[in-house]
Amino acid sequence: MDFQQASAYTEPQHLLRDIANRFDRERVAISFSGAEDVVLIDMAHREGLDFNVFSLDTGRLHPETYAYFERVRDHYGVAIELLMPSPAAVADLVRAKGLFSFYKDGHGECCAVRKIEPLRRKLGELDAWVTGQRKDQSVTRTDLPLEQEDRAFSTQAHRLLKFNPLADWSSRDVWAYIRTHKVPYNELHDQGYVSIGCQPCTRAVGPHEHERTGRWWWEEA
């Protein structure tokens, strides 16, 4: 399928079925962390599609997030592979800069150790991955397609595709689906959290704030 043809998919379920048909099960997976991702897991479950699921465990998530992982695991009977950072790399970072260097130096270095490198290792095993990213989540995603070559993680020897079945959905669409189908969600959402990451780097947002303002807010100050 040509990338432009992906726009023909009017329902995420159609795209999920196509992905399941195109790729060997062991070479594609759903990336899971938030409300959008569990919608994809629910859709796949209802369609009888057996996707592998992985999530990043940075070691600094909220207790509610770990409890959420277990609820999703139990609800769908799905094994969630938790990707963890290199203990040596974390130890080196903490030894050199302490536990909260991101408040001074920005989140990039810590995320590279705790998130990007474990993700890169996993994606090196796959031909495609499926995310719950949406166009309206941030200005960097306004042109997000349903299907794309993942240039951030592809190499000359390994071409990786990335699928975003909910690219055209809004937050309202996501939560309407969750409520209609009684999909489990992170209890932090009931406390005003919208975009949820690591505990030190996530805060609740006000009713008129953009969802991403709850992440790394000090960098905008």
C-alpha triplet 92, 93, 99: angle, nearest 5°: 125
pLDDT of amino acid 141:
79
**pLDDT on residue 10:** 61
Structure confidence at residue 5 (pLDDT): 41
What residue segments make up the domains of the chain, in order of their start? Answer: 3-185
Q: Do the beta carbons of residue 127 and residue 161 sit within 8 Å? A: yes
pLDDT number for residue 212: 67
In this predicted structure, what is the pLDDT of residue 105? 87
Rounded-to-integer distance, Cα 55 and Cα 158, Å: 22
Strands 161-163 and 147-149: antiparallel
Containing 12, the helix (H) or strand (E) segment is: helix 12-22
Secondary element (H or E) of residue 162: strand 161-163
Which pLDDT does position 70 carry in this prediction? 98
Phi, psi torsion values for 19, nearest 5 degrees: -60, -45
Residue with tokens 């006000």: 206
| pLDDT of res. 133 | 93
User: Where do we find the tokens 């195109």?
Assistant: 22
Whether residue 130 contacts residue 30, with contact meaning beta carbons closer than 8 Å, is answered with yes
**pLDDT tens digits, the chain, 221 residues: what are they?**
443 344 444 699 999 999 999 999 999 999 999 899 999 999 999 999 999 999 999 999 999 999 999 999 999 999 999 999 999 999 999 999 999 998 888 899 999 999 999 999 999 999 999 999 999 877 777 889 999 999 999 999 999 999 999 999 998 999 999 999 999 999 999 999 988 999 999 988 877 777 667 777 767 75
Residues 62, 97 contacting (CB under 8 angstroms)? no
Q: How far apart are CA 203 and CA 200, in angstroms?
A: 8
Give the span between the Cα atoms of 36 and 135, in whole angstroms.
12
DSSP 125: T
The CATH T-level fold of domain 3-185 is Rossmann fold (3.40.50)
Q: What is the dihedral of CA 42, 43, 47, 51, to 10 degrees?
A: -70
Report pLDDT for 2. Answer: 41
Phi, psi of 90 (to 5 degrees): -65, -45
